[in-house]
Amino acid sequence: MGGVAQQIEVAPVEVERPVGDEVHEPDLPWIVIVWNDPINLMSYVTWVFQKLFGYPRAKAERLMMDVHTKGRAVVSSGSMEKAEADVARLHAHGLWATMQKDT
Amino acid sequence: MAADEELPFRPDGDRFAISLPTEAREAMRQLAGQYRTLLREQDPTSDPGVARLFPPARDDDPLANLEFENATHAPLVAERLKNVSIVERTADDESITQDDLLAWMAVANDLRLVLGTRLEVTEESTARDFAADPERRETFPMYQFLSALVGTIVEALPEPVG
């Protein structure tokens, strides 16, 4: 691993991390990003976020609107294994999801 | 607004009632069969619509992305084929389980991704955009039909537990 190019500006809304904490490289969590597409219905995307992550409707709608208006949103974070599993489930539901190391 | 009885999918106890016209059921069955052929005969490198169903997980790391694909591609194809079989099996049913309805939603949405990618739809696309091209002119109504199916299924499903 390493040498990961950070080409993506991460949407800030849903990333939860302590402010001012020194984060060491091995502990960096992975983030899962959903990208906007012109096909998936807004109601469907909201439903998928509720279903897969157990988010309340308001949070799922906020994330969906972030995807829709900003082009992307961070929808989950955690270990590499969790991020991989989340991306796989999002792909199974037809959403355009990628994962990367948080910085 | 349509009366409740006219909704194509509606909760009925722990099941869901389907009231779709015969032509819509036949269209869904045929589309599902075509989708199976597509999944079996094409892959993300040979068909842009199929590529949309299997997006890269790691656009920053080709090797890691390949590992992800190796681990997830076959199970995801199997899951999608299973959904196709459920739709074909239940296409004429008056009443289906929630799991069956989720398979209908998955197949309809997968097909929207394939057709929408081929059509290069935007959020503003209308039938007029495809009027000049005979093939696209015929595809767009199918895309709209599938959009309506997905939308009404989302409405019929209970709110996922948060």
Q: Contact A43/B121, CB-based, under 8 Å? A: no
Q: What is the pLDDT of residue A103?
A: 80
Q: Contact B162/A98, CB-based, under 8 Å? A: no
Exposure of B33 in the CB half-sphere (CA atoms within 13 A):
9
Q: What ipTM goes with this model? A: 0.94
Please list the residues that pair with A21 across neighbouring strands.
Answer: none
Residues 6+ apart with CB under 8 A from B130: B119, B136, B137, B139, B140
Burial class (CB in 10 A: 0-12, 13-18, 19+), A4: middle
Token pair in block for residue B149: 């199916």
pLDDT of chain B, 162 residues: tens digit per residue = 444 557 899 999 999 999 999 999 999 999 999 999 999 999 999 999 999 999 999 988 999 999 999 999 999 999 999 999 999 999 999 999 999 999 999 999 999 999 999 999 999 999 999 999 999 999 999 999 999 999 999 999 999 975
Residues in chain A whose Cβ is within 8 Å of chain B: 1, 4-7, 38-41, 43-44, 47, 50-51, 54-57, 84, 87-88, 91-94, 96-100
pTM over 0.90: no
Q: What are phi and psi of A34, to 5 degrees?
A: -105, 130
What DSSP assignment string belongs to B83-126? HHHHHHHHTT-SEEEHHHHHHHHHHHHHHHHHHHHHHT--TT--
Which residues of chain A make contact with B64, given a CB cutoff of 8 A?
A: 1
Token pair in block for residue B116: 């929408």
Which residues of chain A make contact with B53, given a CB cutoff of 8 A?
A: 91, 94
pLDDT tens, residue by residue, A49-59: 999 999 999 99
pLDDT tens, residue by residue, A72-88: 999 999 999 999 999 99
CB of B142 within 8 A of CB of B115?
yes
Whether B77 and chain A come into contact, CB under 8 Å, resolves to no
| Min Cα–Cα distance to chain B from A95, Å | 8
